[in-house]
Chain A
Amino acid sequence: EVQLVESGGDLVQPGGSLRLSCAASGFTFSSYWMSWVRQAPGKGLEWVANIRQDGSEKHYVESVKGRFTISRDNAKNSLYLQMDSLRVEDTAVYYCARSLVGWGECVYWGQGALVTVSS
């Protein structure tokens, strides 16, 4: 069974940093693209970033470029999102998601981690 468990969500001040982690199990982690998706309170879904199986390719939504960094450790079956220069508008539940071969994006989801940016 595919399992994705996010951790690291917290309350942080504007301008601060936070690192989210996603522990994966139940599948061969190194075989799949992985993504982060966020959802602000009461709002819709926003795709944030994804990373290739070997970490050699990373893509971001424009609003987080230069501030967020997606990475992975295939030996630890873990996905990360380093978030710097956080803004109030980054407040959201952050989901970790796994792709499917054949243009299936974000097929399996974790339960999410809440990040609150507030002074």
Chain B
Amino acid sequence: QTVVTQEPSLTVSPGGTVTLTCASSTGAVTSGYHPNWFQQKPGQAPRALIYNINNKHSWTPARFSGSLLGGKAALTLSGVQPEDEAEYYCLLYYGGAQAWVFGGGTKLTVL
């Protein structure tokens, strides 16, 4: 069973920088996993932030960026704002099974 692992929780100060990571139980995350990132606030549907590693949607704030880092997918927030406090999920594509798998989510606290 494929497992996608994220940090359960992270805390960052307003104005700071934080990196969330996304690892695959199958090995290093490469471009072929086409990582996507999402933000979800309580009581709301998820909102897409990043697709295919580092592509932003038209609504994605400039302070969000995606990358591949040390065999993982990564989401970096630079100049964190209080409104960035949320749950963040990564999504990876597994070509063999032709299926997508979400990570368990990272609860980001801005304190």
Contact = CB atoms under 8 A, between A and B. Distances in A.
Nearest to A61: B99
Interface of B: 1, 34, 36, 38, 40, 45-48, 51-52, 55, 57, 87, 89, 91, 93, 97-105
Contacts of A103: 34, 36, 51-52, 93
What is the interface of chain A mostly: helix, strand, loop, or mixed? strand
B99 A44 contact: no
Contacts of B55: 102, 104
17 contacts: A44-B87, A44-B102, A45-B89, A50-B100, A61-B99, A62-B97, A62-B99, A95-B46, A103-B51, A104-B36, A105-B36, A106-B46, A106-B91, A107-B48, A109-B45, A109-B46, A109-B47
Given A46-B102, A111-B45, A106 B38 contact: yes
Interface of A: 35, 37, 44-47, 50, 59-62, 95, 100, 102-112
Contacts of A47: 91, 99-102
A104 B51 contact: yes
A50 B97 CA distance: 12
Contacts of B93: 103, 105
Contacts of A46: 102
A60 to B, nearest CB: 7
Given A44-B105, A45-B89, A47-B91, A104 B100 contact: no
A80 to B, nearest CB: 19
Interface centre among B34, B40, B87, B100 (most CB of A within 10 A): B100
B99 A107 contact: no
Contacts of A45: 38, 40, 46, 89, 91, 102, 105
Nearest to A100: B51
A110 to B, nearest CB: 7
A46 B93 CA distance: 13
Given A44-B89, A45-B38, A45-B89, A106 B99 contact: no
Contacts of A104: 36, 48, 51-52, 55, 57
